[in-house]
Amino acid sequence: MSSSLADHLIEHARERPTAPALVWQGDVISYGDLLEMAQAADADVMRLGLADDRPVGIRAKKSPQAVALILACLKAGRPFVLPSVELAPETLDALFAQAAASRVLIPEDDPVHGVKVEATEVQSDEAPEWPPPGADEVSFMLTTSGSTGLPKIVPLPLSAIDAFTDWAAGKFEIGVGTPVLNYAPLNFDLCLLDIWTTLKHGGCVVMVDQDRGTNGGYVADLLTDHAVAVVQAVPMLYRLLIDVAKEEDGRDFPDVRYALTTGDKMPASTVAAIPDLFPNARLFNVYGCTETNDSLVHEVDLSAEVPAQLPVGQPIDGVSALLVDPESGGFVEGEGTGEFVVRTPFQTRGYLKASLNEGRFADYAVNGQGEARYYRSGDIMRRHPDGTLTIEGRSDFYVKVRGVRVSTQVVEQAIQEHPDVIECAVVAVPDEMAGSRLHALVRKEPESSLNSLSLRQHCTSRLARTEMPSSIEIVTEPLPKTSTGKIDRKRCGPRGERSRVHG
């Protein structure tokens, strides 16, 4: 976050010291308390005698102590790398070393000051990547998921953070006293809205304990008890709340004004349940990447028939979005399909490890203007006549089945259109004859009689023969998820080829 974010928070603490800033495990931490904790964390860090021009690593699960430590770094203008604590220890060590972190900071509870900071050394034989271009402007350094190897470090400029937190506050009416649910882990880019936009503008962050994130009843009680007005989450959370509503005879959450879904496709059956779940809310589908933050927004018309696939909408203010033909490299004008390439006011200048930028960041001249840096998302999108965009699939989700190029996400979409399907994942399995074969892991409604035969019949009119899964496994338990709540396709292969299916 930018220094102005820290300045805003300090101003709230001085003007409204008793106002609630955080709700955590039944406790309310006021703005005054949070500032005092940040000052204690800052004193601990200062005692370490760290070099001012070097970043630090932060290893922390979500907690008020972790928020206070981040605020201390923001106040001091110290960059920090914030990876997921779920990563393997050797992966964390590699990330901290790559970022040239002088120490790794670990926030802990303290009965006197609310927080104390422990520090560990960073061991590395590698030449550090620090400083990146514009290092004096960097604060948050988030990381990608690492689904294709070591996560990439994404340094975010102060100006980008400021621009985003102001845009999000205006778009979703987050101001003084607004209760906002924070469902995502602390390292996830969704926290730029849930936590940091909320605190910058004087709201109250209602934090979900990561260890209880799959307990729908617990989250439902947080929404009710704290009159939450804004919810942003992956579709999994909405499904959990729908299940609670079924169990509790139509429980709803009338205080919610804005419901945001992001990070994964929301099934039509889930969308259809939103008006009963949140009778006074507007539903938005939000698209973005760690590298660019939010790029597209679509408000769902809850009075209309639910489409099989929600649009991801149109570019938000200040965003330039292109579709690039994968074959010719030229721009797709008007209606058509291509790779989504985007430039936002909120984006990074590039990965910390500059060699990783090739193929992901590119310079384009648009509308006769000079070249500017764009991010290549890898998402294949279709632009419709009204200008809205829908995701067709990912360029890296295409596989060859009997020599034919097939998108596993297109197959997932067709399966998801069945009214008894809650969620599904389609993965490619190596096959000596076909090159690859498709396996579908499908979660059905518990009371449904859906079986693989009826699901195949459903898909026949929607898919080509090469797109039909060779095997279908139907379950009633939730599909495996990553730490951010997305479906973990690495754990969705055939039962005999995965160590643990349901988690």
Q: Which tens digits make up the pLDDT trace of 454-473? A: 999 999 988 888 889 999 99
State residue 339's pLDDT score: 93
State residue 126's pLDDT score: 65
Answer yes or no: is pLDDT of 128 > 70: no
Report percent pLDDT > 90 for the chain.
Answer: 71
Report helix, strand or coil for 355. helix
State residue 129's pLDDT score: 67
Q: Rounded to an integer, what distance in angstroms lies between the CA atom of residue 469 and that of residue 298? A: 31
State residue 306's pLDDT score: 86
CB atoms within 10 A of CB 443: 21
Nearest to 360 by CA among 339, 330, 381: 339
Mean pLDDT of the 309-316 span: 92
**Cis omega before residue 267 (within 30°)?**
no
Q: What is the DSSP letter of 111?
A: T
Structural domains of the chain in order of their starting residue, each with its CATH number: 3-212 (3.40.50.12780), 317-393 (2.30.38.10), 402-497 (3.30.300.30)
State residue 503's pLDDT score: 26
Q: By the 8 A CB rule, do 136 and 154 touch?
A: no
Counting beta carbons within 10 angstroms of the beta carbon of residue 209, is it exposed (0 to 12), middle (13 to 18) or buried (19 or more)?
middle
Mean pLDDT of the 181-204 span: 96
**3-state helix/strand/coil string of 261-276:** EECCCCCHHHHHHHHH
Least-confidence region, from 236-245, 360-369, 408-417, 488-497: 488-497
Q: What is the DSSP letter of 150?
A: S
Radius of gyration, CA atoms only, the chain: 23
Q: What is the DSSP letter of 397?
A: G
Q: By the 8 A CB rule, do 268 and 445 touch?
A: no
For 262-305, write each residue's pLDDT tens digit: 987 888 889 999 999 999 999 999 999 999 999 999 999 999 98
Counting beta carbons within 10 angstroms of the beta carbon of residue 460, is it exposed (0 to 12), middle (13 to 18) or buried (19 or more)?
exposed
Give the confidence band of 496 by pLDDT, cuts at 50, 70, 90: low
Give the confidence band of 329 by pLDDT, cuts at 50, 70, 90: confident
Q: Rounded to an integer, what distance in angstroms lies between the CA atom of residue 462 and that of residue 496? A: 29
For 347-365, write each residue's pLDDT tens digit: 999 999 999 999 899 999 8
Nearest to 31 by CA among 50, 14, 47, 45: 14
Nearest to 44 by CA among 93, 140, 108, 96: 108
Q: By the 8 A CB rule, do 342 and 378 touch?
A: no
Average pLDDT, rounded, for the chain: 90
For 203-247, write each residue's pLDDT tens digit: 999 999 999 999 999 999 999 999 999 999 988 899 999 999 999
Answer yes or no: is pLDDT of 148 > 90: no
Mean pLDDT of the 9-26 span: 97
The pTM for the full model equals 0.83
Cβ neighbours of residue 284 closer than 8 Å, sequence gap 6 or more: 172, 258, 259, 260, 261, 297, 298, 299, 300
Residue, of 134 and 281, whose pLDDT is higher: 281
For 168-189, write each residue's pLDDT tens digit: 999 999 999 999 999 999 999 9
Q: Rounded to an integer, what distance in angstroms lies between the CA atom of residue 39 and that of residue 413? A: 50
For 372-387, write each residue's pLDDT tens digit: 999 999 888 999 999 8
**Residue listed under structure tokens 């009159």:** 227
State residue 434's pLDDT score: 63
State residue 55's pLDDT score: 92
